[in-house]
Amino acid sequence: MIWIDTIVQGVLLGGLYALFAAGLSLVFGIMRLVNLAHGDLIVMAAYLILVVVSVLGLNPFVAAVIAAPIMFVFGWILQKGVLNRTLGEDILPPLLVTFGLSVVIQNALLEGFSADSQRISMGPLETASVSAGPVTVGLLPLLTFASAILVIVGLNWIFYRTSIGRAYRATSDDPVTASLMGIRPDRVFASAMGLALIVVTIAALYLGTRSNFDPYVGPARLIYAFEAVIIGGLGSLWGTLAGGVIIGVAQTVGASINPEWQILAGHVAFLVVLLIRPRGLFPRAVD
Amino acid sequence: MALLETKGLTAHYGDFQALFGVDIRLEQGETVAIIGANGAGKTTLMRAITGVLRGQADQIRHKGTAIGHLMPDTIMKRGVVMVPEGRKLFPSLTVEENLLIGGQHKGGRDLGDRIDSFLSRFTGAPDPMALAAGHDGTGLWTLDTIYEIFPVLKERRNNPGTALSGGQQQMVAIGRALMSNPEILLCDEISLGLAPVVIRDIYAALPRIREGGTSVIVVEQDIGQALKVADRVYCMMEGRVTLEGRPEDISRDDIHAAYFGAKA
């Protein structure tokens, strides 16, 4: 029976990893941009939520609602002002620029908030749990997983059911022809980065409430996000959720065998999937 | 004043000059054909007119306004729309989505345009809303009327655009451009690689397109087809216009000379 519990906890942990990864997957899927600063952007959003919580004394969920539009605008300006200039045939410039951005964000956060580790308090919600038979799960992990599902359903709805989603897909296929249809690709990309940073804000809410964070934890989160995206197949959002769940389950199973194996088991699962399906579980048809 | 006019149009790809002072004009309601061999500069001319290849503002005028410096989306919103060479359907979109995307940005009043229009007061950049004014994108063409002229597309509306045959893909590409009810339709090599019977089907839509009030420029390698549909013909060679005239006024020899640069 303990196995069921382990797996359920792993699945719920996978929800957190899927949230870390969804923004990364979105940005890669639309503009083929590998954002090495993604983890640091999550940490940045966590600090933003922390500031709103401590200055205005608000509930973290309300604080995230305030932080999200700020992050959207930041993403818009970042894409329009910096990242659009790096996109092109060569994949190296965006990698270098986002790597640099990662360093800049870490140092700016260090300057502003010091290296002390921080946490966003949720009050009694942190320890609340629900029981179903042999399994007892925390309310916060459950909320995290539900948020991951909602984010992916929402992004899929935007992608396949709205006119802006149509513009995203068309621009991703062929920016020059899209511009002949009245679309301005740099704007489409800017709004996609803004949207990705709204997802980042949701990820940051759970990052900040479930564990401690300091200015340097971004890259470690980025690794899990990358693994989830690659396991799932580049550009597939449901695949990203599956990837997150696989890493989460591998980690909790590994930890239940030997606590030292938690992180290792996640990476091993990633390598095994890569060996069997090098293009991921659900690769997009056109790539 | 011509509907569309180029004056001394030049175009470059890096150091390579592709157009050397091209003068063409299109009057309201006209169909003009541009013929020429591969590499004559026909597609470059289309890319310059649509803003994909930007140059000097006043080398291209649309209803008297200089448009040579504008972005492709602004030119499209003014009602100058292209069916690109090679069809260029969006593979991630279904047939119907490909059609819908052609009509979703017409008129130039989306949020991004409103913001840019506001900012242009301070930056001195061209105001996209002012430039797109005068073309509201309404008219004959809707999903229904496009399915009327190309019924096969209605049957295949939910297929990926790229799953269709070449001729059907060309119909989608034309339909996609028509969805914005263009004032000027530029057709770049729409018969390339298609069977004669399919070409006939596609050109059968042309009278209806003209009835809808759209003026047309067709770029063709198929001289016979071009002479049949056009009110006037331009022949290009090596980046220059070498012949201009009405199909009934120009002889085979004239065309041969203008096309190949030598008498037959």
Q: Which residue of B has its CA nearest to A181?
A: B102
Minimal C-alpha gap between A220 and chain B (Å)? 33
Cα B165 to chain center, whole Å?
22
Minimal C-alpha gap between A177 and chain B (Å)? 7
What is the reported pTM?
0.91
Minimal C-alpha gap between A193 and chain B (Å)? 15
B11: left (phi over 0), alpha (psi -120 to 50) or beta: beta
Which residues in B104-138 are b (16+ Cβ under 10 Å) and which e? Answer: bbbbbbbebbeebbeebeeeeebbbbebbeebebe
State yes or no: pLDDT of A274 exceeds 50: yes
Rounded to whole angstroms, the Cα distance separating B159 from B161 reads 6
Give the mean model confidence (pLDDT) for residues A276-287.
77
Q: How distant, in Å, are the alpha carbons of A109, B33, B230 from that of B224?
A: 69, 11, 10
User: From the list B50, B91, B104, which residue is nearest A180 (CB)?
Assistant: B50
User: From the list A169, A170, A181, which residue is nearest B76 (CB)?
Assistant: A181
pLDDT-above-70 percentage for chain B: 97
Tens digit of each residue's pLDDT (9 = 90 or more) over A176-193: 999 999 999 999 999 999
Contacts of A163 in chain B (CB under 8 A): 100-101, 104
State yes or no: pLDDT of B241 exceeds 90: yes
What is the predicted pLDDT for the residue at B156?
Answer: 94
Q: Is the residue at A99 inside a domain?
A: yes
Contact B88 A174 (CB under 8 A): yes
Give residue A96's domain range: 2-119+138-276
State yes or no: pLDDT of B263 exceeds 80: no
Contacts of A179 in chain B (CB under 8 A): 51-52, 71-73, 76
Least confident interval from A147-156, A226-235, A248-257, B131-140: B131-140
Tens digit of each residue's pLDDT (9 = 90 or more) over A197-247: 999 999 999 999 999 999 999 998 899 999 999 999 887 899 999 999 999
Contact A166 B104 (CB under 8 A): yes
What is the predicted pLDDT for the residue at A180?
Answer: 95
Least confident interval from A57-66, A257-266, B126-135: B126-135
What is the predicted pLDDT for the residue at A142?
Answer: 95
Q: Is residue A287 very low, low, confident or very high in pLDDT (cuts 50, 70, 90)?
A: very low
Contact A176 B97 (CB under 8 A): no
Tens digit of each residue's pLDDT (9 = 90 or more) over B12-26: 998 999 999 999 999
Stronger pLDDT, A134 or B149, i.e. the higher one: B149
State how beta strands B65-66 and B232-237 pair.
unpaired
Residue A25: both structure tokens together? 């997957």
State yes or no: pLDDT of B44 exceeds 80: yes
User: From the list B100, B112, B180, which residue is nearest A184 (CB)?
Assistant: B112
Tens digit of each residue's pLDDT (9 = 90 or more) over A25-54: 999 989 989 999 999 999 999 999 999 999
Stronger pLDDT, B1 or B209, i.e. the higher one: B209
Q: Is residue A127 very low, low, confident or very high in pLDDT (cuts 50, 70, 90)?
A: confident
Residue A146: both structure tokens together? 């539900």
Q: Is residue B124 very low, low, confident or very high in pLDDT (cuts 50, 70, 90)?
A: confident
Tens digit of each residue's pLDDT (9 = 90 or more) over B62-98: 999 999 999 999 999 999 999 999 999 999 999 999 9
Residue (of B140, B139, B206) closest to B171 by Cα position: B206
Give the mean model confidence (pLDDT) for residues A57-85.
96
Minimal C-alpha gap between B106 and chain A (Å)? 7
What is the predicted pLDDT for the residue at A234?
Answer: 80
Q: Is residue B109 very low, low, confident or very high in pLDDT (cuts 50, 70, 90)?
A: low
Angle (CA) B123-B127-B132 rounded to 5° is 170
What is the predicted pLDDT for the residue at B253?
Answer: 87
Is residue B198 within 8 A of residue B166, CB to CB? The reply is: yes
Domain extent listing, chain B: 4-260
Strand, coil or helix: what is A217?
coil
Domain count, chain A: 1
State yes or no: pLDDT of A116 exceeds 80: yes
Question: Looking at this predicted complex, what is its ipTM?
Answer: 0.92
State yes or no: pLDDT of B115 exceeds 90: no
User: From the list A166, A184, A286, which residue is nearest B101 (CB)?
Assistant: A166
Q: Is the residue at A127 inside a domain?
A: no
State yes or no: pLDDT of A286 exceeds 60: no
Give the 3-state DSSP-derived string for chain B, with helices as H, strands as E and coil as C: CCCEEEEEEEEEECCEEEEEEEEEEECCCCEEEEEECCCCCHHHHHHHHHCCCCCCHHHEEECCEECCCCCHHHHHHCCEEEECCCCCCCCCCEHHHHHHHHHCCHHHCCHHHHHHHHHHHHHCCCCHHHHHCCCCCCCCCCHHHHHHHCHHHHHCCCCEHHHCCHHHHHHHHHHHHHCCCCCEEEEECCCCCCCHHHHHHHHCCHHHHHHCCCEEEEEECCHHHHHHHCCEEEEEECCEEEEEECHHHCCHHHHHHHHHCCCC
Q: Is the residue at A130 inside a domain?
A: no
What is the predicted pLDDT for the residue at B108?
Answer: 60
What is the predicted pLDDT for the residue at A285?
Answer: 53
Minimal C-alpha gap between A240 and chain B (Å)? 19
CATH number of B4-260: 3.40.50.300
Q: Is the residue at A284 inside a domain?
A: no
Residue B195: both structure tokens together? 């069977």
Q: What is the CA radius of gyration of chain A?
A: 19
Give the mean model confidence (pLDDT) for residues B118-128.
80
Strand, coil or helix: what is A13?
helix
Q: Is the residue at A132 inside a domain?
A: no
We report the CATH number of the domain holding residue A237 as 1.10.3470
Is residue B141 within 8 A of residue B178, CB to CB? The reply is: yes
